[in-house]
Chains A and B, each alone.
Chain A
Amino acid sequence: MSSRRDFLKAGGALVIGVSLRRDAMAQAQGARGAATPANQPDARQIDTWLAVHSDETATLYIGFAELGQGTTTALPQIAAEELDLDVDRINTVHLDTTVTPNQGGTYSSASIARGGPQIRTAAAEARKALLDMAAARLATPVDRLTVAKGVVSVAGDATRAVTYGQLIGDKRFNLAFSGTAATKPVSEYKIVGKSPARKDTADKVTGKYVYMQQASVPGMLHARIVRPRGQGAYGSVARVLNVDESSIRSIPGARVIRKEDFVGVVAENQWDAIRAAQQLKVTWDSPRSLPGSDGLYANMRAAQVQDSVVRERGDVTAALKSATHVVKQICNGPYQAHAPFGPNCAIADVKADSALVICSTQDIYNLRTGLARLLKLLPDKVRVQYFEGSGTYGHSCHDDCAQAAAILSQAAGKPVRLQFMRWDEHGWDNYGPAHVGEAQAAADASGKIIAYEYHGRQHSWCTTETSDQLAFATAAAERPGIGAQGINPLTLASMYDIPNLRLINHKLNGLQYLKGAWLRSPLDLSLTFASEQAIDQLAHLLKIDPLEFRRRNIKDERWLGVLNAAAQAAKWTPRVAASNLSTAKIVTGRGIGVGTHLASYGGAVAEIEVNRETGRIVTKRLYGAIDAGLVVNPGIVEAQITGQLIQTASRMLKEEITFNETNVTSLDWNSYPILRFDESPEVTPVVVQRMNERSSGAGEEVMAAAAGAIANAFFDATGVRMDQYPMTPSRVLAALKKSP
């Protein structure tokens, strides 16, 4: 392991935030030659996590990627706290299978929840080791030493001091965790719980930051993939009937690379590659494998399913039969795209017995295993390095693009940089799956929710990337199990005190539909669209204010915390929903919702305007509260809440993947509109800080609440319930027309 880190320091070029010029990258790469053996670093060694340098800075080796969510600021904060070192002295490096530890991939908003404790322990162990060294150096027992800003001194005698850099500077600890290093009590925190500025912002605004789409290696060819415009069904992968290479004769710099049904072009000049990919005549066998988006929900309702009871208690059937008030709410929820602002890009340099792949994957170790299989190399001969692309919000085409780059490089015998085009990223995404759901809820005369049942239909997530399918005819397969790819028992009414409850998952066959994977807060927006409207329906039937009704049916303090925080931010005053209807052209409404993804708590209020003549909905104000336990950097979580609320508004009002019987037709920002500046709401984020609770996720946990709030706001404004989203103008007008 020492050889890897020494190469890293000799290269000196892999610290995030520092501009990576072509030559510096080449130097770093050249210093390593072929990928070094990459046995996974030992997680119980201090050196796996931290290096202290003679210039009084430290490098923290984390396994969580900077996706734009601030991980490379917040995790160093945790280390800074335990080490008593200023946070601006701690840097991170690009994730790299030869350098950084495996913390399990960057998803489920787990960077702080799962990564935090590991970093905290490692930093505490390092501090203990440094204090032991200082005790020897200063001939003073540890319990008479104090540390501040990386300087260890004898208590009461600041002249007897030594710095971290002096103690170990650039040398290895060579120490395993003692298991006895104490972490700081929360009451002594000086850094965690504050909001130091993001480390990456300054370089990002000045053009010094190097995104994946801007990285390069010497001698690389530019590449583009050639696929049908828009995918068909996952299980009916496109087949090439003919490739007419003469069609790009006029672009002599470009050459076709083909492996079975995988087609791409490479060229030294980027524009040549772009032109050639569009000009190349390829005839595809594009079967009619899809139901078409117009017929999607009927198809999903009629399709064969595998049923599983996800949660059950009490006797729902009996309770529904005998209840005073019973309501139903359905949801038709669309496929939605990740649509990263910068389409995915990857660089691969595949040699005879080793490979380097640079990309924006969420999991470098998992990707390495897959690449090794595709390239027929040993995993420890494949090196994967992470460069931040644009925000990905889940499993966009990052792995597909990495695989494609690797396939092209192996065939070309040269390094290849592959940039997905806008239509590639939109058309071949692993979408957030469509969902058909029905919630039934019942209350007694006193306003207590006594029964709840939910049926949800969707398919699971794909495990085979398109490049793999095309080049190797690898069969389309779905991820087993239910988990987050099925209906989520935490989002579905878990916050309410309901004695009789049943949640049933109906799994569709994913091979007959579009590719699916996790999209920020997977399925939850569809779930609360139905569920929180059902809860609201009960409140309305009973003529109770929606906030008051929820308060009466929630016992959990933390759920009440976010519910009340959102309501308070919105200055919510009691009023029964839809009790203030107007026939004006523009009507206003407000709604409230609660929801989560996993372990955190989300509450939201939405204030909207509806134009009854055009059907246009505008979110005017959104309020979102998250309780994520101990929040390391509240400023970053406020930004996350803001982004989540905007994205939820976009997904509830505008976003929908459309497709005909052969292919997806949402291929650019015109055919897949998202929320823009002119319709963007004012946003109030609230962090419900709980310093004595375990940290949990904050990257997606208020979206479900906001989805419910927006749907409920529409009812408040119009007296009409929407069954389908996005709530586009034409759907709104149709719903308003249908209603008396």
Chain B
Amino acid sequence: MPSYKIRVNESDHSVTASPETPLLYILMDQLELKGPRFGCGLGQCGSCSVLINGTEARSCMTPISSVGNKSITTLEGLPALYASQKKLGKAPDFHPVQQAIVDEQAAQCGYCYNGMIVKASELLAKTPQPTDAQIRTAMNGHLCRCGTYPRMLKAIHRAAQAMSGGAR
């Protein structure tokens, strides 16, 4: 089985896997990360989302052989990514989206929140003050079975405010 060097959350890792192995299982089993998780294996639900060079990708459908030297960011790496995007000296404990979800008490079972947070962080990095409609469209590929969409929507607005320096 070939060896791959991958960069995850600003750390380099050497992994061994057959080429078509989806990135998800490498992150779960070999790197023991708890962010990306299994939801459908079909790219339909967003449970497994990670950022690859800052763009949201479904790790359950991303073969390890396609990753190359692109930079992978998982849920765990979002605070540090935020710090580098905003040129902060130190990574905060929580990415503003994570903090907003805690403040809004948005999560119920929380299982979909890996994908929700990863996608929302991508959205806010590209569209700092999204409208309701923009949020709904961007987030539409991420399912929530518990029905927390209303609070997630509020949380994203709250995070947007916090990121633009506004108090809420």
Residues of A participating in the B interface, judged by any CB pair closer than 8 Å? 19, 21-22, 67-70, 197-198, 200-202, 204-211, 213-214, 269-271, 274, 339-343, 388-391, 393, 419, 421-422, 635, 639-640, 642-647, 650, 668-670, 674-678, 680-683
Contacts and interface: CB of A to CB of B under 8 A. Distances in A.
A542 B22 CA distance: 63
19 contacts: A19-B34, A70-B108, A198-B107, A202-B102, A206-B98, A207-B76, A211-B111, A270-B25, A341-B39, A341-B45, A391-B146, A635-B105, A639-B108, A643-B147, A645-B147, A647-B147, A668-B40, A674-B143, A682-B150
Given A206-B93, A342-B38, 12 more contacts: A22-B32, A68-B111, A68-B146, A200-B110, A207-B34, A274-B25, A342-B37, A390-B145, A639-B151, A644-B147, A677-B135, A677-B136
A608 to B, nearest CB: 16
Contact of B150 (A68, A635, A668, A683): A683
Given A341-B39, A390-B145, A201 B110 contact: yes
B88 to A, nearest CB: 17
A530 to B, nearest CB: 24
Contacts of B110: 68, 200-201, 204-205, 209
Interface in B123-167: 135-137, 139-140, 142-153
- Tell me the interface secondary structure of chain B in the complex: loop
B8 interface: no
Contacts, number: 172
B149 A68 contact: no
A398 to B, nearest CB: 13
Nearest to A338: B145
B38 A68 contact: no
Nearest to A214: B34
A341 B109 contact: yes
Contacts of B105: 197-198, 201, 635, 639
A390 B74 CA distance: 20
B149 A680 contact: yes
Contacts of B47: 341-342
Given A271-B17, A639-B151, A676 B143 contact: yes
B3 to A, nearest CB: 15
Contacts of B66: none
A213 B144 CA distance: 17
A682 B32 CA distance: 38
Contact of A205 (B28, B94, B149): B94
B114 A207 contact: yes
Interface residues of B, number: 55
A206 B96 CA distance: 11
Given A213-B38, A680-B150, A206 B75 contact: yes
Contacts of A208: 34
A642 B148 contact: yes
Given A342-B111, A390-B111, A206 B94 contact: yes
A206 B75 CA distance: 7
B109 to A, nearest CB: 3
Nearest to A208: B34
A668 B39 CA distance: 10
Interface in B35-58: 35, 37-42, 44-45, 47
- Tell me the interface secondary structure of chain A in the complex: loop
B44 A677 contact: no
Best-surrounded residue of A19, A67, A204 (most CB of chain B within 10 A): A204
Contact of B44 (A389, A639, A668): A668
Contacts of B135: 677
Closest 9 CB pairs of A and B: A68-B109, A646-B147, A390-B111, A204-B110, A643-B147, A391-B109, A680-B149, A422-B40, A341-B145
Nearest to A683: B150
B109 A388 contact: yes
Interface string B93-106: 11000100110010
A721 B111 CA distance: 37
Contacts of B17: 271
Best-surrounded residue of B41, B98, B110 (most CB of chain A within 10 A): B110
B69 interface: no
A69 B37 contact: no
Contact of B107 (A204, A342, A422, A676): A204
A695 to B, nearest CB: 20
B48 to A, nearest CB: 11
Contacts of A201: 101-102, 105, 107, 110
A422 B47 CA distance: 12
Contacts of A207: 33-35, 74-76, 114
Nearest to A251: B18
Given A341-B109, A639-B108, A391 B145 contact: yes
B80 interface: no
Interface string B112-124: 1110010000000
B153 to A, nearest CB: 8
A254 to B, nearest CB: 12
Contacts of B28: 214, 270
Contact of B45 (A389, A393, A669): A669
A69 B114 CA distance: 18
Contacts of A644: 147
Interface in B2-31: 17-18, 21-22, 25, 28-29
A323 B3 CA distance: 81
B139 A677 contact: yes
A647 B149 CA distance: 11
Given A207-B35, A207-B74, A668 B42 contact: yes
Contact of B98 (A205, A389, A391, A668): A205
A635 B106 CA distance: 11
B136 A678 contact: yes
B38 A419 contact: yes
Nearest to B101: A205
Contacts of B76: 206-207
Contacts of A650: 147
Contact of B140 (A343, A635, A678): A678
B147 to A, nearest CB: 3
A394 to B, nearest CB: 12
B145 to A, nearest CB: 4
A421 B41 contact: yes
Nearest to A644: B147
Given A68-B109, A642-B150, A271 B94 contact: no
Given A271-B21, A676-B140, A646 B108 contact: no
Contacts of B93: 206
A647 B147 CA distance: 6
A205 B147 contact: no
Contacts of B108: 68-70, 391, 639-640, 643
Contacts of A683: 150
Nearest to B149: A680
Given A68-B109, A205-B110, A391-B111, A213 B44 contact: no
A189 to B, nearest CB: 21
Contacts of A682: 150
Given A201-B102, A341-B47, A669 B40 contact: yes
Contacts of B142: 677
A300 to B, nearest CB: 27
Contacts of B114: 207
Nearest to A685: B150
Contacts of A635: 105
Contacts of A389: 109, 111
B137 A678 contact: yes
Nearest to B110: A204
